[in-house]
Amino acid sequence: MPGKDMKLKPGAVIDEPGSSTKTKTGEWRTLKPVVDKKKCIKCGLCWLYCPDACIKIKKDGADIDYDHCKGCGICARHCPVKAIKMVREENGKSN
Amino acid sequence: MEKVIETSHAIAEAVRLAKPDVIPIYPVTPQTHIAERLADFVADGLLKAEMITVESEHSAISAAIGASAAGSRVFTATASQGLALMHEVLFIASGLRLPVVMAIANRALSAPINIWCDHSDSIAERDSGWIQLYCESAQEAYDSVLFAYRIAENRDVLLPTMVCVDGFSLSHVYERVLLDNDEKVRKYVGKYRPLFKLDARKPVTMGPIGYPNSFMEFKEQQEQAMKMAINVMRVEERNFKKHFKRDFYGLIETYNLANARYAIIAMGSVCGTIKHVLKQSRLKDIGLIKLRSFRPLPKEALKKAFEGLKAIAVIDRAVSFGNGGVLWNEIKALSCLPVHSFIAGLGGRDITPRHIMKAFDVMQKEKENEKRIWLK
């Protein structure tokens, strides 16, 4: 069941469509990917490989959705110019 | 119309009038006569229901859940090993708040293998979140099935409900049953209007994951629904009485209790034997408290019944090995009185007037000294 703001219906029924977007699953992360936008060449490989569809290629480079990124590190592994580094989360907080 | 019919057939008759849309069922002794009679009704065109002859009880209750989630009224029935096989799925029916009604013909659990009556099958499902009603007579079984739909489908309750009858010693017994006319009964049961259903035109999600941040709230809702069920049953008892112009049974039923200083508590068909013994012996000092609703446990009604008593005897047809009678444990937690425990009638052993008299004697003689006795 998603966020605390939703009313809890009997039997955990969800009768509002699209509610999965309200669930922030990025809280599990221990390492987070940080993009060095100066190095980024906007090739889109990280976007292609991200298993959680958490990366968008914007004008200034790869942009990561930290609400849903689990910190798997596949993007950093595949970046051809080493623009993505995996950094330890501090105080258990994301972002 | 009054008719002498078998309790299983009385249950099937009530189900015919409740008109379930789907009946997923698997035969098991001593529930089989219910399944057979329902199959007759469907084959003869007297009941327009989808009868699914599933390959196991696990499938029966799973199909019942699916059908109920789709907005159907559902009935099934089982006993003993069949109920045990349903175990994991029972919690899903109650967790999803689906008002499935299921008859149980109570039977012992193996080993040693035994097909006769005791309450160990349904008592083992005490914590599954199902309402459990126990019946004494064929009439009570018939009435309770109709009543069960009214309770289970009430929007303040929405809980699956078991209607329990003692295997053989009630399920196969022929008794006089008052069968009201079809229209009157159908009007009482009414139509099932689900709060949510699986419908492509208005999609909902059923059975999502419950994270630690919401799981407890859903369980709390189930506990509240059980509490609400007590109030709803009280109201429905009055509705039943008004509609059919005859008494309904209450969460508990008392017999000879008005001037009694001792009470014996039991569930199911043995209550008939106890009433018989009390009538024959003309004992003024002992009364019967028949517990009809085991879940939810009507604590306030029981406490009120205990007022003025000196001691209580509890007859259990199920054992929690390592801590004695199950019902005894629950009554003990409700009362400071001496509560004597009697285990009786396991695996179909007859509970005779001699056993009841023994319980009476012990309760009156032993005073504070609580006894735990197996009546064999």
Arch. (CATH architecture) of B2-244: 3-Layer(aba) Sandwich (3.40)
Confidence of residue A93 (pLDDT cuts 50, 70, 90): low
Of B207, B209, B214, the CB nearest to A8: B214
Residues of B with CB under 8 A from a CB of A: 95-98, 158, 195-196, 202-211, 213-214, 217-218, 221, 225
C-alpha distance from B197 to closest chain A C-alpha (Å): 9
DSSP reduced 3-state for B321 = coil
pTM for this one?
Answer: 0.89
Q: Encoding tokens for residue B120?
A: 């160990």
State the Cα–Cα distance between residues B173 and B214, nearest whole angstrom: 47
List, in sequence order, every beta strand (DSSP E) within chain A: 31-35, 55-58, 61-64, 84-88
DSSP reduced 3-state for B128 = helix
Q: What mean pLDDT is predicted for residues B245-250? A: 92
Of B98, B196, B208, the CB nearest to A1: B208
What is the CATH number that goes with domain B252-375? Answer: 3.40.50.920
List, in sequence order, every beta strand (DSSP E) within chain B: 2-6, 22-25, 50-53, 75-78, 101-106, 131-134, 161-166, 174-178, 252-255, 262-266, 286-291, 293-295, 311-316, 339-344, 372-375
**Residue B64 pLDDT > 60:** yes
- Domain spans of chain B, in order of start: 2-244, 252-375
Q: Do B125 and B92 contact (CB within 8 A), yes or no? A: no
- Domain spans of chain A, in order of start: 29-88
CA geometry: angle B45, B46, B48, nearest 5 deg: 70
State the Cα–Cα distance between residues B84 and B61, nearest whole angstrom: 11
Instruction: Provide the residue type at A18 as one letter.
Output: G
The pLDDT tens digits of the residues spanning B329-365 come to 999 999 999 999 999 999 999 999 999 999 999 999 9
Class of CATH domain A29-88: alpha beta
The pLDDT tens digits of the residues spanning A61-73 come to 999 999 999 999 9
The pLDDT tens digits of the residues spanning A22-78 come to 778 888 899 999 999 999 999 999 999 999 999 999 999 999 999 999 999 999 999
Q: What mean pLDDT is predicted for residues B131-157? A: 98
C-alpha distance from A57 to closest chain B C-alpha (Å): 32
ipTM score:
0.85
User: What local confidence, expressed as pLDDT, does residue B60 receive?
Assistant: 98
DSSP reduced 3-state for B325 = strand
